[in-house]
Amino acid sequence: MKKIFLTGASSGIGKAIAMALTEQGHEVWGTSRDASCLSNISRLHPARLDLSDSRSISDAFNAALAEAGHFDVVINNAGSGHFGPAENLSAESITNQFQLLVFGHIQLMQLALATMRAREHGLIINVTSLASRLPVPFMAAYNAAKAAMAAFIMSIQLELPDSRVHIIDLQPGDICTEFNNAVHKGAQYDSRYEAEVAKTWVMVERNMAAAPKPELVARHVLKLLEQINPPPRVTVGDTFQSKLAPFIFRFLPQRVRIWGLKKYYGL
Ligand SMILES: NC(=O)c1ccc[n+]([C@@H]2O[C@H](COP(=O)([O-])OP(=O)(O)OC[C@H]3O[C@@H](n4cnc5c(N)ncnc54)[C@H](OP(=O)(O)O)[C@@H]3O)[C@@H](O)[C@H]2O)c1
């Protein structure tokens, strides 16, 4: 039995991970901004955490740690996105994306790392995104935040001495969750972009509807927990998005990458 801290356990990928872990007998401290949204299942301990508030992150982690005694695994999963032209993105929404997906995630990773380094044991799984490498049009701040987090994780992986503390960058492709509902909320379109935004949104929705279920990510997480020497980066999703596209992308010149992504989203 492992003790696990998991953010964003109320919905989508986090909820599927929470279900899979508790079914396997693990104790999970799962978070939401509203703890009443968390499933009432045994071995799931509800915690309130808001990534937009750094105090809430440390309070939630420290209170859960005091209850649990230690964490074997911390899963940095919670997050949301935005949708709209980069040209018109307000400084506030860019800052908000970076607070949630970079500063909040880094803060939690550092809190986890401090306790794990003291015990010389532990696993941190950071859920970033394939959007860090294959950006989605009209999600510029989201793509950039995920890329920043991926670079930060790789930097820590370079610096950490060989030990039994492992950090993984888990990069999902499209996974069928409630993610797009939050993304589209409050979207503002500059009229010059209206047609392109609409075309892209159709593709984004279509991809999401056809995407694998979040239980696929949960199964990958269960496998990672069993590995003595887990991989530093893992991609999860359908074969084209998670395997073929990132592989081919590596060898393409930038001009062809941009052309290919435009074609993919019908732009
Ligand atoms: N679905 C995809 O296609 C996909 C692809 C690549 C990466 N990802 C990443 O996977 C992670 C989970 O996304 P999902 O698809 O499962 O989305 P989801 O179904 O919308 O779930 C998002 C989770 O994050 C929590 N959350 C949202 N904003 C938060 C905030 N400000 N503070 C604390 N918690 C917050 C939500 O909890 P409450 O609302 O209850 O607080 C919820 O539990 C995200 O980091 C996302 O970027 C998703």
Confidence of residue 182 (pLDDT cuts 50, 70, 90): confident
Question: What pLDDT shows up at residue 190?
Answer: 77
Among the listed residues 134, 142, 98, 127, the one whose alpha carbon sits nearest the alpha carbon of residue 234: 127
Asked whether 27 and 51 are in contact (CB, 8 A), the reply is no
Nearest C-alpha to atom 42 of ligand 1 is from which residue? Answer: 8
The atom number, within ligand 1, closest to the CA of 176 reads 1
CATH of domain 3-264: 3.40.50.720
Q: Which two tokens stand for residue 239?
A: 């074969």
Beta bridge partners of 32: 48
Distance (angstroms) between ligand 1 centre and the Cα of 145 equals 14
Ligand 1: residue of 19, 36, 51, 80 to mutate (most ligand atoms within 8 A of CB) is 80
Ligand 1 atom at minimum distance from 13 CA: 16
pLDDT given at position 129: 98
Nearest C-alpha neighbor of 264 from the set 240, 243, 236: 240
- 99 CA → ligand 1 middle, Å: 14
Q: Which of 35, 37, 39, 8 is nearest to 22 (CA)?
A: 39
Question: Which candidate, 14, 17, 7, places its Cα nearest to that of 64?
Answer: 7
The CB density around residue 91, as the number of other CB atoms within 10 Å, is 7
pLDDT interval class at 154 (50, 70, 90): very high
Q: What is the pLDDT of residues 91-134, one digit of tens each?
A: 999 999 999 999 999 999 999 999 999 999 999 999 999 999 99
pLDDT in tens, 50-93: 999 999 999 999 999 999 999 999 999 999 999 889 998 999 99
Q: What is the pLDDT of residues 167-181, one digit of tens each?
A: 999 999 999 999 988
pLDDT exceeds 90 at position 4? yes
What would the mean pLDDT of 189-197 be, rounded to a whole number?
A: 85
Q: Are 116 and 160 in contact (CB under 8 A)?
A: no
- pLDDT for res 181: 82
> Atom 17 (ligand 1): residue with closest C-alpha?
179
Q: What is the mean pLDDT of residues 243-255?
A: 95
At 186, the pLDDT band (50, 70, 90 cuts) reads low
Q: Whose CA is nearest to atom 43 of ligand 1?
A: 8
Q: What is the mean pLDDT of the chain?
A: 95
Ligand 1 binding residues, C-beta < 6 A: 8, 10-14, 32-34, 37, 49-52, 77-80, 100, 127, 129, 172, 174-175, 177-179, 182
Q: Whole-prediction pTM value? A: 0.96
Q: Which of 29, 31, 33, 58 maximizes ligand 1 atoms within 8 Å of its Cβ, making it the mutation to test the pocket? A: 33
Report the nearest-CA residue for atom 45 of ligand 1.
79
